[in-house]
Amino acid sequence: METLSLPINSLTNPSAKHIFSLSAASNYASLSSLQLNPSLTTTLLTLRKSVLRVQAESEDYELKQMRDMAAARKRWEALIRDGKVKVLTPKEAGYAVQLSNKPLLDVRPSNEHKKAWVRASTWIPIFDVDNKVDFGTIPTKVTNFVMGGWWSGMPTLSYDSQFLAKVEEKFPKDSELIVACQKGLRSLAACELLYNAGYKNLFWVQGGFEAAEEEDLIVEGPVPLKFAGIGGVSEFLGFTDQQRAAAAKEGWGYRLVFSARLIGVFLVADALYIGAQQIGRYLQDIKTH
């Protein structure tokens, strides 16, 4: 299932944190053993306390997000188990939309919707790309990028507080509403909000659009619907599950494109490394002369 950006980022690297802690402690011990003046010692102590405080706050935040996510999953499972939200496969959703004109609510963020969408669907994202750049959002954006955004291409998302109001403008509360997203997680969150707001005829597309076959839904957009949720370095190199499945169907021609890209990345990295060495030698020669 996809990661909810409440922002919920549950990717962690305990070993990296442990190494960082050990490194910080050893570096501080080494500095403390030197003959330092009092003001510098005070500065180092303050800096160390700040680093430890930020690390503790980050760990507490991640634990809180994990607990919140676990609690949310239990609520969503109860909605399905109690029959408050009905389950449809992508194929069943396609039949309902095409043959019965049931409304399909697409709650994906804009970065996914602009790549591919279902014809006649209504797009109202529950979470959308956070384009704000200020002191409050920069740390979140950096964390998202470092914790996997560079690989998956998933930007920082934020909850749209107007989501319910926008849905209520489009659909009365007695509507038989089919709710879908890319992988099925955000649409469950949307179903919970909608049910609590008075929508009682809700249908959830299990597995999301990523589980749909080409013939299940009438799709528009520049890429196949299955590919709308991929991005970043993993997409560029063809390392996603969707691309591997496509390669198995289409054969070596498809694979060669991404193999060439991978070779290109290695060649560029090698060229940069050699160039850096040459520049280093050149600077060293200037320094010695």
Q: Which residues are catalytically annotated?
A: 181
CA 147-7-13 angle, to 5 degrees, is 25
| Separation CA 21–CA 25 (nearest Å) | 6
The pairing of strands 104-106 and 177-180 is parallel
Taking the C-alpha atoms of residue 186 and residue 188, their distance in angstroms, rounded to an integer, is: 5
Residue 175 tokens read as 């509507």
Neighbouring residues of 136: CB distance < 8 A, sequence distance ≥ 6: none
* Residue among 108, 144, 143, 114 at smallest CA distance from 128: 108
Cβ neighbours, 10 Å, residue 190 = 27
Q: How far apart are CA 29 and CA 39, in angstroms?
A: 17
DSSP string over 74-102: HHHHHHHHTTSEEEE-HHHHHHHHHHH--
Beta-carbon contacts of 26 under 8 Å, excluding residues fewer than 6 positions away, are none
| Chain CA centroid to CA 259, Å | 25
* Cis? peptide before 38, omega within 30° of 0: no
Cα 38 from chain centroid? 46
